[in-house]
A = this chain, B = another copy of it.
């Protein structure tokens, strides 16, 4: 499996079967659907680290997406069984980044790579320093 060692840790793998509703008339997973999968994988990672993202928000931390990017390499088709690999790739003073890969069921073929950057906001929508408990959650 290429690049395994380079991927930030700790990671999580979100398992998914591609549905009809996610594909388009070209017969492949529609490009906007990758961002939905990234969000689900993100939620899955946070849940595996101990709490849900809903709980993160209840603790007063809102993490809206400030930037998203995806590189589409090998098309994914209807009924394909895929994995979304996800990890936090960087913490900055008031933001954080996640890295993503979409791989086939054997985790070999690399279908896509992506990233999202999130601002760290308080409930009033003000930027504030990423709290230690959040940073600690993603320590190896």
Q: Which of A24-32, A83-91, A97-105, A129-137 contacts B (4 or more CB under 8 A)?
A: A24-32
> Given contacts A21-B30, A24-B21, A33-B32, is CB(A65)–CB(B72) below 8 Å?
yes
Copies of this chain per assembly: 4
Interface of A is mostly: mixed
Name the one of B25, B31, B79 contacting A68, with C-beta atoms under 8 angstroms.
B31
Docked-complex contact B69 and A69, CB < 8 angstroms = yes
Residues of A in contact (CB 8 Å), total 38
Additional A-B contacts beyond A24-B24, A31-B116 (13; CB < 8 A): A19-B36, A19-B43, A24-B25, A24-B78, A25-B77, A31-B35, A32-B36, A35-B35, A52-B79, A54-B78, A66-B71, A66-B72, A69-B70
